[in-house]
Amino acid sequence: MVKHTATSVVTIERFIIEQERLYPHATGDLSAILYDLGVAAKMIANKVRSAGLADILGSAEKENIQGEVQQKLDIIANEIIVKAMDHGGRLCGMGSEEEEDMIHIPDRFKRGKYVLLFDPLDGSSNIDVNVPVGTIFSVLHKVSEGERAVLADMLQPGYEQVAAGYVIYGASTMLVYTTGQGAHGFTLDPSIGEFLLSHPHIRIPETGRYLSVNDSYSQMWNEPTRALMRYYRGLDGTREAMSVRYVGSLVADFHRNLLGGGLFAYPANTSNPQGKLRLQYEANPLAFIVEQAGGAATDGHRRIVDLKPTSLHQRTPLFIGSLHDVEAAKRILGDSVAEEVGA
């Protein structure tokens, strides 16, 4: 495979095809899925960019599965992805963080051998205040018999993912993805409408500078979690204090830590004993990416990608980022999380 540098002018389409050549038996279906996701990302970026202009701000009445009031852009982003992906003939089904049930491929379209899970617009509650938001996606092989997807196809552990990625709609629009051959970042050049390779072979620093956690829950954490946060802050004298950077938008916090080194933590707490973030739509895809960049992801006790999902919208505690900082979470939390999450 060509070893590109950040100064090479390489479109995402060309990069995907070059990566496909690493797999002699590749049919091109996964490449087509990634290409189509890039198109959907450009369409969503357009909507997000103009959110402040058109009267699509504010929250739609319709409630989503999480009981959160949906921002209209959530609904639009969800529909953009479904419409971009449902007729390509590569998917047998989809799961969206915004939809309670599986999304089936209409009978008029050919079905394929992959399943797509996605969070169409994570952090959307930040849209009205112009804070970066993101799309997260995960691709799995169909494992069930027959043409149609069944729940078992969606409830595979994270180590079965064949691809994962996210798009961050920030100062610039970036798409970061992996197919197991490293994590690579592409920046959208709006003047030509192309994602160009800007961050080949991303490597996350082994020890982080930044700690991303919402401290307002500290009274609801168990004691090992509080001890862990004292460690990260250097209050127990065993490490240099980390700088706290918390945007409240997972993709924004994760992306900064991926490039600069850091640890994002959303621990279990008494109001969210299973954690807040979704295993299949957020934790697993980001865990695949961070491990490909030399980092790690845990629920405090087990590797995120080893967790066996039991429901489509299941939540998990999440500690993700620089390797040494994640190892500290496992060391200090030990078995406490196992009790919390009923392991």
List residues binding ligand P6P (CB under 6 A): 122-123, 125, 214, 248-250, 276
For ligand P6P, which is the closer residue by CB, 8 or 272?
Answer: 272
For ligand P6P, which is the closer residue by CB, 11 or 125?
Answer: 125
Work out how close the CB of 183 gets to ligand P6P at its nearest, in angstroms, rounded to a whole number.
19
For ligand P6P, which is the closer residue by CB, 7 or 216?
Answer: 216
Neighbours of 240 (CB within 10 A): 9
Q: Give the pairing of strands 91-96 and 69-71.
A: unpaired
Helices (H) and strands (E) in the chain, counts: 9, 17
Work out how close the CB of 131 gets to ligand P6P at its nearest, in angstroms, rounded to a whole number.
10
Work out how close the CB of 338 gets to ligand P6P at its nearest, in angstroms, rounded to a whole number.
23
Neighbours of 337 (CB within 10 A): 25
Q: What is the CA radius of gyration of the chain?
A: 19
Work out how close the CB of 104 gets to ligand P6P at its nearest, in angstroms, rounded to a whole number.
26
Retrieve residue 306's tokens. Answer: 């080893």
Work out how close the CB of 126 gets to ligand P6P at its nearest, in angstroms, rounded to a whole number.
7
Work out how close the CB of 212 gets to ligand P6P at its nearest, in angstroms, rounded to a whole number.
8
For ligand P6P, which is the closer residue by CB, 97 or 153?
Answer: 97
For residues 285 and 259, give the distance between their C-alpha atoms in angstroms, rounded to a whole number: 17
Retrieve residue 224's tokens. Answer: 């090992």
For ligand P6P, which is the closer residue by CB, 20 or 325?
Answer: 325
Q: CB under 8 Å, gap of 24 or more: what pairs does 172-177 form?
A: 173/41, 173/42, 173/45, 174/198, 174/199, 174/255, 175/12, 175/37, 175/38, 175/41, 176/202, 176/255, 176/258, 176/289, 177/34, 177/289
Work out how close the CB of 277 gets to ligand P6P at its nearest, in angstroms, rounded to a whole number.
6
For ligand P6P, which is the closer residue by CB, 99 or 206?
Answer: 99
For ligand P6P, which is the closer residue by CB, 32 or 131?
Answer: 131
The DSSP secondary-structure symbol of 241 reads P
